[in-house]
Amino acid sequence: MKILVLGSGAREHAIILGLRAEQKEHEIFVAPGNAGIAQDAIPVSLDPLDGAAITEFANENAVDLVVVGPEAPLVAGVADVLRERGIPVFGPGRAAAQLEGSKSFAKRIMDAAGVPTGRAVRAATTAEVEAAFDDLGAPHVVKADGLAAGKGVIVTSDRAEALAHAEQYLPSGPVLVEEFLSGPEVSLFFLSDGDTVRALSPAQDFKRALDGDEGPNTGGMGAYSPLPWLAEQFGSEKAFVDEVTRDVALPVIRQLDGEGTPFIGLLYAGLILTPAGVRVIEFNARFGDPETQVVLPRLVTPLSELLLAAASGTLEDQPDPEFRDDVAITVVVASEGYPEAPQTGRPIEGLSEAASVEGVRLVHAATASPDAPGGSLVATGGRVLNVVATAADFRTARDRAYEAIGRIRLEGSHHRTDIAARVAE
């Protein structure tokens, strides 16, 4: 197949590596990609938000499938432009992508579909925010209603801090003040063709910047899959996945279809396992980052077949995806100052040494080639690299990941040292 992947981060690199793992003669393009992705796909100078230019490229190059990685092009309606021209695209149209683009829209869909979630109050003024705090109590959960690159959420018992967060986003529109829910969090991905869904294997990510879930929220500092502890509460991973498919994914997909906005692509369900049962924290309309980096290396079923079936409306003909028993973890190497003010432009050394560790692959999030030939790659963003390690058990996978990280040199960089530590005990 000829496949065009839109995006420039670690999620897109992980998707491309998943396609490469099939050992088929795919011709893979990426727009725009990064320095690491360029080793595994053909970079194309296209703006992922420019639907017309992407459509023209796809037609001129006989592209069989377009995979939209990030959320911004989805919310901008790029998938709609491609579909109107008959190009198979994995990613929801603008209307369905509001499931991620608007927290209020997502809450309305959940309520209409009867999906279990926490209480939420839409607040447009400081006074309404404070009234919601009084109603829902502490800890306070405040979410920007629109896209915020993983940084629009705060959970705190400090009322002043929560109010300041709300006031940061109120000039752009209302915020959501939500009921605080406690329990372990799980990320679960569903492929959807607008009617049928197929679940992938669950993962857990780590949002806080520092060990022990301390520090500010980030886009994600690491993840692991599978989640062996699910069996304690649900009997098996399959039983958990079946429950969430029945109570969350299918009702949402059917609600959107019934409203004339079918969801075609990847439904990301951010879940929390409360004492009262599974509750939805949020939905995303694309593969999660960094969970994709640990879910796809375990996938046995050819990824291209799943993506094309979803894009073409034939997912019901696909059996449930199969996964290896091997475990996977990823640890994010971040620039100094991330997430508040990341330092960029610094050289990255030791990548080949890190990649030589058994079971390790490097997934690039924000890297660029140097100006001078023969120099080191440089960091261009906050989350720079994902070190992904697979093994038969979590202890070995962790050892491999952190051994590889020890070989990477990026001035001022930081990473969490406790990713998957509990399941490795």
Neighbours of 423 (CB within 10 A): 19
Q: Please choose, from the candidates 280, 344, 277, 273, the residue with its C-alpha nearest in 3D space to the C-alpha of residue 109.
A: 280
Whether residue 251 has a cis bond before it, omega within 30° of 0? no
Higher per-residue pLDDT: 321 or 170: 321
Identify the band that residue 151 occupies on the pLDDT scale cut at 50, 70 and 90: low
Neighbours of 35 (CB within 10 A): 17
At residue 291, the pLDDT reads 98
Higher per-residue pLDDT: 104 or 82: 82
Identify the band that residue 120 occupies on the pLDDT scale cut at 50, 70 and 90: confident
Mean pLDDT of 98-108: 89
State how far the Cα of 78 lies from the Cα of 90, in Å rounded to an integer.
11
* Per-residue buried b or exposed e for 218-236, using 16+ beta carbons within 10 Å of the residue's own CB: bbbbbbbbbbeebeeebee
Sheet holding 367-368, edge to edge: 347-348, 377-379, 367-368
- For the stretch 232-279, pLDDT in tens is 999 999 999 999 999 999 999 999 999 999 999 999 999 999 999 999
Q: How far is CA 425 from CA 93, 229, 244, 332, in A?
A: 43, 12, 28, 21
At residue 152, the pLDDT reads 77
Neighbours of 60 (CB within 10 A): 8
Query: How much of the chain, in percent, has pLDDT values that exceed 90?
Result: 85
Residues 6+ apart with CB under 8 A from 69: 5, 6, 7, 9, 11, 12, 15, 48, 286, 287
- For the stretch 152-208, pLDDT in tens is 788 889 999 999 999 988 988 888 898 888 899 999 999 999 999 999 999 999 999
Averaged confidence pLDDT in the chain: 95
Least confident of 51-65, 85-99, 143-157, 372-386: 143-157
Q: Please choose, from the candidates 199, 215, 177, 225, the residue with its C-alpha nearest in 3D space to the C-alpha of residue 325.
A: 225
- For the stretch 21-54, pLDDT in tens is 998 999 999 999 999 999 999 999 999 999 999 9
State how far the Cα of 80 lies from the Cα of 5, in Å rounded to an integer.
16
pTM (2 d.p.): 0.93
Token pair, residue 290, equals: 């960094």
Q: Please choose, from the candidates 252, 249, 245, 393, the residue with its C-alpha nearest in 3D space to the C-alpha of residue 329.
A: 393
With residue 330 as reference, give the H or E element that holds it. strand 327-334
At residue 150, the pLDDT reads 55
Q: Please choose, from the candidates 66, 70, 87, the residue with its C-alpha nearest in 3D space to the C-alpha of residue 19.
A: 66
Neighbours of 207 (CB within 10 A): 19
Mean pLDDT of 374-397: 96
- Do residues 280 and 116 make contact, with C-beta atoms less than 8 angstroms apart? yes
Token pair, residue 175, equals: 């915020």
Q: Does the pLDDT value for residue 149 go beyond 60? A: no
